[in-house]
């Protein structure tokens, strides 16, 4: 049930996504990564060194990576500069046009691309619709925009439903097995 909303992998943080395994086992060449509460805490300007290292590692091993975010383009551009990666923020997720633009930036096929984000109704739904690999991460902070309050509550219900049914497992590092 609600398969279109269910991520393929659920993991505690973006920096626990094992990049080498992602590349070698899942044959991934490109990463579309969300910004707020995935790479950076919502509303913050500071980035964790752990996450900067994770992005550097992705580039070092030859993975293409870009930010696809629903934030304003000024904020997306600022962080794209810090991470030194391209970004897309013109069209909103979960609309396919946002992900299709991400694919154009990465120049990868759908089967070679992963979406990583903290929201089911934007990152996971959009990625699943295009048949991309989807990874849901726990939001960096609980603080969020007012508009996502209702969504967050529905997300909690869905996640606990999937966890109870065994259709989703929370991974803490060592992914994928």
Part in contact with Mg ion (CB under 5 A); list of ranges 35-43, 48-56, 130-138, 145-153:
35-43
**Angle, CA of 120, 122 and 124, to the nearest 5°:** 50
Q: Is 10 helix (H, G, I), strand (E, B) or coil?
A: strand
Residues 129 and 108: their CA atoms lie apart, in Å, by: 17
Answer yes or no whether residue 118 interacts with Mg ion by CB under 5 A: yes
Candidates 13, 37, 89, 148: give the one binding Mg ion (CB under 5 A).
37
Query: Which of these ranges, 15-23, 76-84, 89-97, 117-125, lies near Mg ion under the rule CB under 5 A?
Result: 117-125
- Please report how close the Cβ of residue 79 comes to Mg ion at its closest, in angstroms: 12
The strands making up 133-137's β-sheet, listed across from edge to edge, are 87-88, 64-68, 30-33, 113-117, 133-137, 9-11, 170-171
State yes or no: residue 155 binds Mg ion (CB under 5 A).
Answer: no
Among 15, 31, 34, 128, binds Mg ion (CB under 5 A): 34
Smallest gap from Cβ 25 to Mg ion, in A, equals 26
Question: In the complex, what is the shortest distance from the CB of residue 117 to Mg ion, in angstroms, rounded to a whole number?
Answer: 5
Contact 106, 99 (CB under 8 A): no
Task: Check binding of 112 to Mg ion (CB under 5 A).
Answer: no
Residue 86 burial (C-beta neighbours within 10 Å; 0-12, 13-18, 19+): middle
In the complex, least distance from residue 145 CB atom to Mg ion, rounded to whole angstroms:
9
Cα distance between residue 57 and residue 136, in whole Å? 20
Shortest spacing between CB 8 and Mg ion, in angstroms: 18
By rule CB under 5 A, what count of residues binds Mg ion? Answer: 4
**Residues engaged in binding Mg ion (CB under 5 A):** 34, 36-37, 118
């Amino acid at each position: 049930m609600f398969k279109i909303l269910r991520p393929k992998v659920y993991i505690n943080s973006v920096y626990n996504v094992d990049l080498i395994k992602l590349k070698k086992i899942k044959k991934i060449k490109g990463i579309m990564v969300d910004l707020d509460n995935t790479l950076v805490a919502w509303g913050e300007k500071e980035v964790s060194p752990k996450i900067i290292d994770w992005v550097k590692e992705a580039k070092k091993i030859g993975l293409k990576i870009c930010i696809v975010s629903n934030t304003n383009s000024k904020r997306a551009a600022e962080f794209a500069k810090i991470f030194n990666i391209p970004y897309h923020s013109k069209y909103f997720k979960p609309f396919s046009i946002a992900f299709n633009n991400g694919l154009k930036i990465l120049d990868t096929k759908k089967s070679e691309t992963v979406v990583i984000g903290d929201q089911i109704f934007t990152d996971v739904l959009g990625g699943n619709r295009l048949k991309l690999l989807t990874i849901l991460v726990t939001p960096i902070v609980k603080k969020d925009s007012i508009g996502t309050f209702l969504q967050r509550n529905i997300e909690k219900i869905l996640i606990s439903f999937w966890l109870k049914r065994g259709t989703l497992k929370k991974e803490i590092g060592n992914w994928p097995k």
